[in-house]
Amino acid sequence: MKVSQALKQRSSCRDFKSTKLNEQEIQALIDAALASPTALNAQDLKINVVQDQNLLKEISDQCFSMFDSATQKKMKTRGANSIFYNAPLVFILSSPSEDYADLNAGIAAQSICLTATELGLGSCIIGLASQVFESDRKDYFSEKLDFTSDEKFCVAVAVGHENTSKDPHEFNLNQIREF
């Protein structure tokens, strides 16, 4: 599959099957993250490959307990009981360095998403998980994920087989400015 095709075909999945990914699929996704560029080629982004459903549930439950009413309503509309939409695998991208951490993580997140599309898998970028690392249980979750004292959460990406899917978003041409 061409990258341009994957980009247009991909849409966020918010309803995963519980089916686990196989070793080759997981390795392809890890390779995609590792192949992603980092500023100054520092390669300091941490790629936490999380399949522990108990840990994912704990993170999700903590988020749900902190949601404002608008977010609660949105998750209810989506029929979601987990911020990870029951994905069997979640990449939690974190960094011990301040330098371009979120940019590096964003690039790796997109690489994971496009590779998931190529593999026939669904994906969803999950920024909401950041809430647990701003909560009073920050230390608990940082320890669970073996974060060093200076390490910060950047973004998460849920991956798995799609139970249901939706159309890709429409283009907003107002985003473009030409000079």
Applying CB under 6 A, the residues found at the interface with ligand FMN are 11-12, 14, 124-128, 155, 168-169
Nearest approach, Cβ of 146 to ligand FMN (angstroms)?
23
Nearest approach, Cβ of 110 to ligand FMN (angstroms)?
8
- Give the residue with the Cβ less far from ligand FMN, 92 or 124: 124
Identify the H or E element spanning 49: strand 46-50
Nearest approach, Cβ of 104 to ligand FMN (angstroms)?
13
CB under 8 A, 24+ apart: contacts of 29-32: 29/89, 29/91, 29/112, 29/115, 29/116, 29/119, 29/159, 31/115, 32/108, 32/111, 32/112, 32/114, 32/115
Nearest approach, Cβ of 92 to ligand FMN (angstroms)?
13
- Give the residue with the Cβ less far from ligand FMN, 29 or 124: 124
- Give the residue with the Cβ less far from ligand FMN, 37 or 168: 168
- Give the residue with the Cβ less far from ligand FMN, 21 or 122: 122
How are beta strands 46-50 and 89-95 bridged, if at all? antiparallel
Residue nearest to ligand FMN (CB): 127
SS3 string, 104-127, reads HHHHHHHHHHHHHHHCCCEEEEEC
